[in-house]
């Protein structure tokens, strides 16, 4: 934007005509745009800061061949940083010739913002990442004012900051907060997407979660920084909420559908399970991704990112450990020092890539989750657990990079059973999702301590409490960065629902009134002990002494014994160590 002028530009290589649509209330004025190579541009002699706008593109309508041009569809700017309303799902979004201006959000012309100097990231490997759903975290918080509940601003409330500080959180990881749309099957069921993993605008904050826009996120990040915590954003760059061939025309699909990956027969590739997949072999996709990341760092002070289904970013079409996006991030002056965390799997061919990301990336380690649960369920091997506790060198190698171990260890995440439900349910209970309990993971390596679900039996409650303490102890004793999902520190439940993405209600919301305060204090004590000796957890110390129950060095027979339930480890003249006793359901971390 130049003084007295506003310039608009949008990429659409195959469009035959393009219009900028400006809105004054509901009144729309269309301005023809001019082609400049793959882009269409228009400069208007006015400062249009705060004005609502969108685009209309004309061209071929042949979805079977990958062309979705329909001038009746108002299209959201892929580079928009603010929208005036949330997306709503409607059959009209996919119907050719059906105008959608009354139901599509308007992009808002952003006013120039004075950018503060970029500060070094706030995070160290070995720390505690606290994963949270912004809305679910505060909807029932008794100390947060009702007007703030469910918003990004609520995270800056003193009561929230106090809880995070008591847990010694190194960085909060916010589940998606950019604008998304519900999946088509949800509205008829009376349900909504409450997780946000179905984005349309990659950098426009969702108006429901962040009604104050960029300024609200900036203030909240500053408050968390002042409290000593970093802020990470969970980003979904692998697909668009425009979905499969039956999905709506909302933004990218109507402007440049070639940014999606297509098979030779014109069908959308679905390596994400969401109906479409963005093609990171396309430089335009990578530039949009980099631009979005820079925006959140420069404008909001974000310390890093977790990437949903991250192998997509390195596909061309197969996964490549030297994919262009890795080098581009590493060479970017704004992004090179940020925290980068991969969810290292997707559902495409060769989609499981744990341990294959660059050395400066961290990776979610689902093997830690599964092997940890196996062990405490009574099925796992003590040697396998030791490998996980020592940083999963079988996966990431014995030589840690200078910054430390790359594993992000977790025992529960937003996707799957909560930690408390892991010890309370043997089977998923997702009936409320409207899919006849077919959705969600079928195998959770969980157990119920004799009764499925809630129980008033004191013995069952005590057993579950011991199991949770043991699981948490295992997590906090492990080498690498650790992740705790909000509420697991005090035994939150989702009533056995292991896929609560569509439960924007008491199933998905954290109930602060019924939390297990004894478990919470136990978790805080574990975290305090770990935080006080954080460098010890960045990489596994050497030399290490492994001992059996009798205090003797572990032998091959000890490691391989199927019934072994005791393990002790010490290092650095006993400055660091732990003991695990499966029979007693205990994990002791030294020094306490």
Q: How confident is the model at residue 574 (pLDDT cuts 50, 70, 90)?
A: low
Q: What are phi and psi of 264, to 5 degrees?
A: -55, -30
Angle between helices 517-532 and 458-476 (to 10 degrees): 20
Query: Which is the catalytic residue, given 131, 182, 303, 308?
Result: 308
Alpha helices (H) in 407-457, listed in sequence order: 419-422
pLDDT above 60: residue 275: yes
520-to-127, 482, 511, 517 alpha-carbon distances in Å: 18, 17, 13, 5
- Looking at residue 564, its pLDDT comes to 82
Q: How confident is the model at residue 492 (pLDDT cuts 50, 70, 90)?
A: very high
pLDDT above 70: residue 573: no
- Looking at residue 399, its pLDDT comes to 65
pLDDT above 60: residue 480: yes
- Summarize pLDDT for 3-52 with one digit per residue, the tens: 789 999 999 999 999 999 999 999 999 999 999 999 999 999 999 999 99
- Looking at residue 463, its pLDDT comes to 97
- Summarize pLDDT for 183-236 with one digit per residue, the tens: 999 999 999 999 999 999 999 999 999 999 999 999 999 999 999 999 999 999
Up-side HSE of residue 581: CA atoms within 13 Å toward CB?
10
Measured CA to CA, the distance from residue 252 to residue 241 in angstroms comes to: 10
Residue-range domains of the chain with CATH: 6-108 (2.60.40.10), 129-185+365-541 (3.20.20.80), 544-590 (no CATH)
Query: Which is the catalytic residue, given 183, 343, 346, 538?
Result: 343
Measured CA to CA, the distance from residue 348 to residue 344 in angstroms comes to: 12
- Summarize pLDDT for 330-360 with one digit per residue, the tens: 999 999 999 999 999 999 999 999 999 999 9
- Summarize pLDDT for 423-447 with one digit per residue, the tens: 999 999 999 999 999 999 988 999 9
**What stretches of 196-276 adopt beta strand conformation (E)?**
230-235
* Cβ neighbours of residue 123 closer than 8 Å, sequence gap 6 or more: 170, 171, 230, 232, 303, 304, 339
> Does 343 qualify as catalytic in the annotation?
yes
- What 3-state DSSP class applies to 5? coil
Q: How confident is the model at residue 591 (pLDDT cuts 50, 70, 90)?
A: low
pLDDT above 60: residue 592: no
- Summarize pLDDT for 511-567 with one digit per residue, the tens: 999 999 999 999 999 999 999 988 888 888 878 889 988 888 999 888 888 788 898
pLDDT above 80: residue 572: no
């Amino acid at each position: 934007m130049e003084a007295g002028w506003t310039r608009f530009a949008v990429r659409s290589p195959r469009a035959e005509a393009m219009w900028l649509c400006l809105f004054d209330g509901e009144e729309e004025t269309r301005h023809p745009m001019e082609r400049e190579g793959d882009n269409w541009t228009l400069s208007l002699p006015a400062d249009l800061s705060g004005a609502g706008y969108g685009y209309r593109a004309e061209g071929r309508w042949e979805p079977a061949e990958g062309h979705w041009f329909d001038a009746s569809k108002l299209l959201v700017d892929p580079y928009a940083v603010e929208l005036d309303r949330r997306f709503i799902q409607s059959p009209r979004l996919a119907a050719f010739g059906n105008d959608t201006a009354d139901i599509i959000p308007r992009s808002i012309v952003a006013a120039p913002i004075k950018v503060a100097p970029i500060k070094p990231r706030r995070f160290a490997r070995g720390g505690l990442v606290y994963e949270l759903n912004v809305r679910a975290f505060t909807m029932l918080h008794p100390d947060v004012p009702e007007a703030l509940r469910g918003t990004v601003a609520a995270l800056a409330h003193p009561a929230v900051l106090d809880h995070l500080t008591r847990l010694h959180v190194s960085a909060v990881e916010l589940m998606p907060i950019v604008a998304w749309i519900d999946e088509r099957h949800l509205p008829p069921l009376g349900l909504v997407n409450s997780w946000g993993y179905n984005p349309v605008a990659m950098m426009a904050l969702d108006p429901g979660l962040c009604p104050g826009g960029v300024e609200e996120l900036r203030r909240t990040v500053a408050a968390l920084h002042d409290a000593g915590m970093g802020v990470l954003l969970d980003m979904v760059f692998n697909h668009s909420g425009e979905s499969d061939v039956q999905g709506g025309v909302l933004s990218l699909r109507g402007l440049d559908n070639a940014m999606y990956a297509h098979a030779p027969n014109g069908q959308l590739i679905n390596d994400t399970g969401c109906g479409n997949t963005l093609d990171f072999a396309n430089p335009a996709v990578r530039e949009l991704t980099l631009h979005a990341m820079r925006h959140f760092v420069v404008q909001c002070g974000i310390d890093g990112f977790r990437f949903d289904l991250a192998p997509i970013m390195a596909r061309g079409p197969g996964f490549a450990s030297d994919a262009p996006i890795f080098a581009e991030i590493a060479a970017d002056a704004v992004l090179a020092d940020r925290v980068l965390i991969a969810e290292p799997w997707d559902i495409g061919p060769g989609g499981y890539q744990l341990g294959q990301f660059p050395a400066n990336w961290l990776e979610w380690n689902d093997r830690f989750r599964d092997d940890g649960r196996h062990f405490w369920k009574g099925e796992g091997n003590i040697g396998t657990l030791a490998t996980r506790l020592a940083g999963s060198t079988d996966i990431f190698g014995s030589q840690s990079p200078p910054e430390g171990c790359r594993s992000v260890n977790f025992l529960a995440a937003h996707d799957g059973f909560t930690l408390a439900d892991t010890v309370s349910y043997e089977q998923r209970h997702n009936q409320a999702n409207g899919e006849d309990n077919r959705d969600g993971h079928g195998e959770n390596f969980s157990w119920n301590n004799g009764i499925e679900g809630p129980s008033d039996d004191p013995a069952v409650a005590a057993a579950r409490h011991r199991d949770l303490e043991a699981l948490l102890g295992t997590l906090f004793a492990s080498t690498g960065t650790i992740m705790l999902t909000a509420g697991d520190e005090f035994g939150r439940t989702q009533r056995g629902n292991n896929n609560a993405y569509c439960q924007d209600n008491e199933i998905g919301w954290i109930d602060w009134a019924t939390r297990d305060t004894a478990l919470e204090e136990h978790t805080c004590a574990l975290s305090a002990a770990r935080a006080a000796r954080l460098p010890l957890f960045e990489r596994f110390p050497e030399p290490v002494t492994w001992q059996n129950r009798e205090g003797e060095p572990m032998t091959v027979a000890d490691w391989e014994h199927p019934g072994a339930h005791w393990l002790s480890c010490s290092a650095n003249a006993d400055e660091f160590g732990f003991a695990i006793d499966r029979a007693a359901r205990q994990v002791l971390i030294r020094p306490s």
